[in-house]
């Protein structure tokens, strides 16, 4: 077997309406209609769905942060230029999104944000693909600060 691509992500969320607002209205995913009670799927148009939210209730525990086993973050590519990343940063700041980091990974430039449940997301733009095509180990280059 060989994996062809990362297909989709499913998140448990405490408040579906709040999370739908975040992923649809702030990040720009297209909601797949009709929704089902307690569930909402989204697509960027690449495939049938890339994200599914399942409501688990306001008393569900939040994700644990820091060094631990499990999901650290997932990445969402928004373009290929620093101008696109700067515009995204301005949009997220205007929407009150919590930005927890800004990094230069050599192969990409990234903003790290938290969704309404505290899940960390990387919103990024790719650098010149020749960087990693010529040197696949560039993906492991130490992270540098990025000033936008």
Q: What is the pLDDT of residues 67-122, one digit of tens each?
A: 989 899 999 999 999 999 999 999 999 999 999 999 999 999 999 999 999 999 99
- Mean pLDDT for 28-49 is 93
- % residues pLDDT > 70 (the chain): 100
CA-to-CA dists, residue 21 to 4, 58, 66, 100, angstroms: 31, 16, 26, 20
Partners of 49 in the β-ladder: none
Whether 110 is in a domain gets the answer: yes
Binned at pLDDT 50, 70 and 90, residue 56 comes out as very high
Residue 137: give the domain boundaries.
72-148
The answer, yes or no, to whether the previous bond of 34 is cis (omega within 30 of 0) is yes
My answer on whether 32 and 94 are in the same domain is: no
- What mean pLDDT is predicted for residues 9-37? 96
Per-residue pLDDT tens over the stretch 12-22: 999 999 999 99
Quote the tokens at residue 118.
């505290």
User: Residue 118: what pLDDT?
Assistant: 95
Same domain as 143, residue 77: yes
Please count the other Cβ atoms lying within 10 Å of the Cβ belonging to residue 7. Answer: 11
Q: Do the domain assignments include residue 66?
A: no
Tokens of 121: 């997301």
Q: Is the pLDDT of residue 66 over 90?
A: no
How many domains, in total, are found in the chain? 2
In this structure, what CATH number is given to the domain that contains residue 121? 3.10.180.10
Looking at residue 73, what is its pLDDT? Answer: 94
Q: Is residue 116 part of a domain?
A: yes
Q: What is the mean pLDDT of residues 137-145?
A: 95
């Amino acid at each position: 077997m060989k994996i062809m691509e990362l297909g989709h992500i499913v998140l448990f969320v405490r408040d579906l309406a709040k999370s739908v607002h975040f992923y649809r209205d702030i990040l720009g995913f297209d909601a797949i209609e009709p929704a089902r009670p307690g569930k909402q799927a989204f697509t960027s148009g690449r495939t049938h769905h890339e994200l599914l939210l399942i409501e688990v209730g306001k008393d569900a525990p939040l994700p644990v942060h820091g060094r631990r086993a499990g999901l650290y973050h997932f990445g969402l590519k928004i373009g290929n230029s620093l101008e696109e990343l700067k515009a995204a940063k301005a949009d997220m700041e205007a929407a009150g999104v919590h930005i927890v980091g800004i990094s230069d990974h050599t192969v990409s430039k990234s903003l790290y944000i938290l969704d309404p449940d505290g899940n960390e997301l990387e919103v990024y733009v790719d650098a010149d693909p020749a960087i990693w095509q010529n040197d696949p180990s560039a993906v492991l280059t130490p992270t540098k600060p990025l000033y936008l």
